Amino acid sequence: NAGVTQTPKFRVLKTGQSMTLLCAQDMNHEYMYWYRQDPGMGLRLIHYSVGEGTTAKGEVPDGYNVSRLKKQNFLLGLESAAPSQTSVYFCASSQDSWAEQYFGPGTRLTVT
């Protein structure tokens, strides 16, 4: 049981480049989430999904897109990276909206 995995672990992008972060979970959870963590700001929700084929905006969705084509995967895309998107990104999953979330190890992204 791998739990929640994230790919890649580290990435450096130049301003304007695009990339996709992949999250995978093997717990058959319905809910999946993408957060970013910045110093002093805690965990801020970017987008989330309540099931396969669904996505919804969180607190800070601008500049990001997501897709959940398969139940076990949740992709986060940056179409045109900006330095303000330098952050640590965490993916999480849960069985119910209120239940405990299982987090991945994080992706450290630097945009120069």
Partner 1 sequence: DQQVKQNSPSLSVQEGRISILNCDYTNSMFDYFLWYKKYPAEGPTFLISISSIKDKNEDGRFTVFLNKSAKHLSLHIVPSQPGDSAVYFCAASSTSGGSYIPTFGRGTSLIVHP
* Minimum distance from residue 50 beta carbon to partner 1 (Å): 5
Task: Write the CB contacts of 43 (distance below 8 Å, at least 6 apart in sequence).
Answer: 35, 36, 37, 90
> Judging by beta carbons within 10 Å of its beta carbon (0-12, 13-18, 19+), is residue 72 exposed, middle or buried?
middle
Of 12-20, 63-71, 72-80, 97-105, which segment contacts partner 1 by CB under 8 A?
A: 97-105
Of 11-19, 44-52, 66-74, 76-84, which segment contacts partner 1 by CB under 8 A?
A: 44-52
Task: Write the CB contacts of 41 (distance below 8 Å, at least 6 apart in sequence).
Answer: none
Interacting residue ranges for partner 1, rule: CB under 8 A: 4, 33, 40-43, 45, 48, 50, 56, 58, 90, 92, 96-98, 100-106
